[in-house]
Amino acid sequence: MRRTPAHVTLFIAALAAALTGCSRMPTAPSANTTLTRDNSNPGILQMPDTPPPVEGGFSNAITLGVGDEGTIVAGNFSLVIHKNSLKMPATIRIDQPDLNVMQATFEITPPEANDFQVPVELLANCSNDLSAKVKEETVFLWDGDWLEASSVSLDHNSQIFTAKVHNLSNAKVDLLQKIDTINHGGN
């Protein structure tokens, strides 16, 4: 009896598989015509014009009683509530919806508690920004319009703004307002 060499057997098996095709194999392409590609616009994808909304952000809340002290941090903003700042128990919430924007919102419950006996310290951490940019910025508070906070200091080493406030409102860090002066005296 004569034996067929192994390489000949493998060649015949491969040839048989190629000739029968893969139509009966489980991995065969589908013959369903509803899944075929629409060739009216081949290779062109249309992207939406608006970028997707930024998800995430930071939010945090703290509940304190009269005489309590505490610190709350949300994103790049912190609030230091000193002992005896609160006149009544309150819950304070900070939201920084977009981490790329130095802006935060505050919610104080009950609203009557938003009148602090001892000023609270609002801290805005700008350490991710260039030092030259931070030196040209300050903290603004919302009061029907963005107004420069009256008591603001900047730690140049850590690039953290500190604003001392008796009432909390929405806050942001932005470029200082330039005031143009015009010499009307003629000198």
Could you tell me which residue, 176 or 177, shows the higher pLDDT? Answer: 176
pLDDT in tens, 80-134: 999 999 999 999 999 999 989 999 999 999 999 999 999 999 999 999 999 999 9
CB burial of 114-147 (b: ≥16 within 10 Å; e: otherwise) equals bebeebbbbbbbbeeeeeeebeebbbbbeeeebe
Dist CA 27 CA 36 (whole Å): 17
What pLDDT does 34 receive? Answer: 55
Could you tell me which residue, 55 or 121, shows the higher pLDDT? Answer: 121
The amino acid occupying position 169 is S
| Residue ranges of E strands in 84-150 | 90-96, 103-109, 120-125, 137-142, 146-148
Q: How many residues does the chain have?
A: 187
Dist CA 87 CA 93 (whole Å): 17
> pTM above the 0.95 mark?
no
Q: How many CB atoms lie within 10 A of CB 56?
A: 10
What structural domains and CATH numbers belong to the chain? 58-175 (2.60.220.30)
pLDDT in tens, 4-48: 777 777 777 776 666 666 555 556 656 565 555 555 555 554 544
Q: Exposure of 76 by Cβ count < 10 A (0-12 exposed, 13-18 middle, 19+ buried)? A: buried
